[in-house]
A and B are shown apart, each in its own frame.
Chain A
Amino acid sequence: MIVRPSLLLLLAVVLAAPRVAAEPGVTDTEIVVGGSNSFSGPLAYTGEQITKFGIDLYFKVVNDAGGIHGRKVRAVYYDDGYRPQDAVANTKKLVEQDNVFAIIIPQGSPPVVATLEYLEQQKVPMLFPYQSSPVTRGRRYVFQGMTLSDRSSRMMIDYLAGTRKFKKFAALYQDDEYGKSFLAAFEKDLGRYGLKLTATESVKRGVADVSAQIAKLHAARPEVTFLVLVPGPAAHALRERQKIGWTDTLMVSTGPLTDEKYLALATDAANGVEGLSLWPDPMTSDLKGVQLYRAYMLKYFPKNEPNRYSLAGYFAGMLFTEAAMRAGRNLTRDSLVTALESIKGFETGILPPLTIGPDHETQKQGFWVRVEKGRFTPLTDWLKSE
């Protein structure tokens, strides 16, 4: 039994070998960033696309073009399976062991919220978290990725109550922060038009059957019914509506539902559903940046179909690269923050010209789409939330 302690001590000595670097994650030849993401669990597909086929895709392009001021850029990922404790462990490991320069595009509210305080304390940038809860606001080292829920709400109501002149709104929402934050934002934005939600029904997370709620909402006869749900129950809601022949309402979906893959769950019941799309169509858009994205995907990962998750990761890689380029050869965490804050009218070819202000939000827009035969047909140009 005397063996074990001495082995552990040896291990301790090996592990304690010092590392020397001026700024963590930045050497003469390399920049290392990292992220905890879902490679297993409910969001595994999304996580893999964002990271390995998104961020890495853009980094391959950058590295083949000579890197960032002569440095190659590389990303390290760990799997948290959507579990907050694993996200905490992974993030600590990335910061303390792998010495990453920044955390890039972590996914999902629970894992992101669990690591927010720690990263802010350590002054490590958290770049473009892929979640929509406004909890990420007001932090020096956090730059929000996805359009936040209150901005989405403003665009949706301005379009539906303002442009389309709808008067009677109802909502079916998931009974948690995601659902409630949308509900509160809807009420507030409808208030500006002298309107309010005429009926609301809630769904607990994990509940698949929403037929009772659909029947009640049907009875209230709204012109517009918001679905603030996750894919499973949302698809059920759409099929249920089809079953009872409820046709005189416009179904509008939020957040994760504006995605072809998930709408496919509802099959033809999804036809006619409208919503806010945060990204141009990755498969068909003829925007310069999206065409380029497809060309690179074909070159580096020919077997992987373009999709909005890898596009989001690709975009995050692009934004990081732009900021690191602006920060210059003397790259530090603080100079990166300053560089990101200085981005004005940056042409990505994917989203409208990008300006990041003191609010640290990188996406503030979306455009209106309608589902037709399993694809999104755009109905508007980019809508604004300011």
Chain B
Amino acid sequence: MGEKMSRRPYAQECPRATWYFKRPRYMRYMAREVTCIFIGAYTLMLLVGLLRLSQGQAQYEDFLMALRQPASVAFHIVALAFSLYHTFTWFNVAPKALPIQVGEEIWPDSVVASAHYVVWAVLSLVILFWAGVI
């Protein structure tokens, strides 16, 4: 039993740039976080659309023409895909933040998650109806 201090704890580093490659669940998390870029970009585009609308019919129709370009269509498809991923992942974890307890039972996660999907579907139908699409 030596008297000298021989402890030398070894610090395990978490690599800042590459930690999320280690497990699939971290990649899925990063994908979820990255969706906000596309949602942000789409929101900006909507704001630009509102601005054009306020500037007059000609400006607005130019804007709509731009939307029909292939690049724009591609962007919309990608943004929609990311928005759906964003939405579904958040709907699925919403029950964790909002546990509903009735008596001694806690409602299963699927109930709260399903409620989100149902409300989303109903609101979508209402908007589509109101916009004259259906």
Partners in one complex: no
Task: Give the A-binding residues of B (Cβ under 8 A).
Answer: none
